[in-house]
Amino acid sequence: MGSDSGFLVVVAIGIASLFGLWIIFYFIPVGLWFSALLSGVRVSLIQLVFMRWRKVPPSVIVTAMINATKAGLSITRDELEAHYLAGGRVKLVVNALISADKANIPLNFKAATAIDLAGRDVFEAVQMSVNPKVINTPPIAAVAKDGIQLIAKARVTVRANIRQLVGGAGEETILARVGEGVVSSIGSSDSHKSVLENPDSISKVVLSKGLDSGTAFEILSIDIADIDVGKNIGAQLQMDQAFADKNIAQAKAEERRAMAVANEQEMKAKAQEARAKVIEAEAEIPRAIAESFRSGNLGLMDYYKFQNIQADTKMRESIAEPPKKQAPKNLDPPQK
């Protein structure tokens, strides 16, 4: 029993020792300090321990300092720690400074960290300054003065403007301005044929407008990659206008027809009203004749003369009326 307990104590002490050594080497990265020392970077073990307490990974800071020192740049540990604690990307900033220094691009640590904290990729910006980027615009439709639609595609070659990366507009603004310039250039052309003959005239007009002002890029060239002929917008607009005029004329004609029908119905109503008044007046004639008989103003011979005049008038009216057409008789023989 005594030997077993002694063995367990030795094992526990060994495990505790290993755990203690791991903690010591974790908080005191001797290997990292030795690598920095061999690379010519002066950093103390105490500062590496303090980085752990400040929740700054020593490997990131020391590696960045080694890369900067080997490239001939002078960057302090405090500057790298401050940028890391501010949420920056230390490795990208150091790589961007090294690339800019090799390419003779003026870029200091303050400007690089400002670009990085602004959310832009400073290393990619430096690469774009050395190797310009080509941006393809979507199809841009514009109409010349002769009414023919042209659909153009452009390629914009840009490089990053380091001084305008903070606060400068992005690629979307470049594309929008180039599209506006292409539409304006084609729209000011008298004929679509002149644009097809000289597509470089669009590039010259667009480049002369300074579209890269206030952006994070510098436009090097604008090349028209393709131009296609679209619809005849002028003719289409004329057809639409003619169709609209026809509809308006039809509506006005329908309005006049409706007014004429309404006027006709009104006149028929007035005629019916007048006919009713005539019938009403004619109904008063027998009464007037009877009253004349009673008062002695009308004699029997006068009444007969009146009757003869009416009969004569009806006869003349019947003679004056045209004869009515009779339906033709069926001349076909009867079927047996």
Q: Which amino acid is at 38?
A: L
CA dist 324 and 169 (Å) reads 94
Give me the number of domains the chain comprises. 2
How is residue 225 written in tokens? 């990659």
With residue 222 as reference, give the H or E element that holds it: strand 217-232
pLDDT at 326: 58
Q: Which amino acid is at 72?
A: G
pLDDT at 322: 66
Domain closes at, from 198, 232, 266: 232
Q: Is residue 123 located within the same domain as residue 156? A: no
Range of the domain at 153: 133-232
Closest CA to 160 of 181, 131, 135, 137: 131
Domain closes at, from 95, 130, 165: 130
Within 10 Å of residue 135's Cβ, how many Cβ atoms? 17
Q: Is residue 38 located within the same domain as residue 113? A: yes
- For 15, 144, 156, 198, the CA distances from 138, given in Å and listed in that order, are 66, 19, 11, 21
| 330 CB-near residues (< 8 Å, 6+ apart) | none
Q: Is residue 109 located within the same domain as residue 221? A: no
CA dist 199 and 223 (Å) reads 9
Q: Is residue 16 located within the same domain as residue 121? A: yes
- For 66, 122, 161, the CA distances from 129, given in Å and listed in that order, are 25, 11, 7
Helix segments in 159-232, DSSP class H: 171-187, 192-197, 200-207
Domain closes at, from 232, 267, 285: 232
Q: Say if 142 falls within a structural domain.
A: yes
Q: Say if 190 falls within a structural domain.
A: yes
Q: Is residue 186 located within the same domain as residue 79? A: no
pLDDT at 336: 45
Q: Is residue 104 located within the same domain as residue 195? A: no
Q: Is residue 198 located within the same domain as residue 86? A: no
- Tens-binned pLDDT, residue by residue, of the chain (336 aa): 445 566 565 556 666 555 555 555 555 666 676 676 766 777 776 777 777 777 778 778 888 888 888 888 888 888 888 888 888 888 888 888 888 888 888 888 888 888 888 888 888 888 888 888 888 888 888 888 888 888 888 888 888 888 777 777 788 888 888 888 888 888 888 887 887 878 877 878 887 777 778 888 888 888 888 888 877 777 777 787 888 888 888 888 888 888 988 888 888 888 888 888 888 777 777 777 777 777 776 666 766 677 777 777 777 777 766 666 555 555 555 554
Closest CA to 65 of 54, 79, 51, 55: 79
Q: Which amino acid is at 218?
A: E
**Global pTM?**
0.55
CA dist 192 and 149 (Å) reads 8
Please state the φ and ψ torsions of residue 107, each to the nearest 5 degrees.
Answer: -150, 120
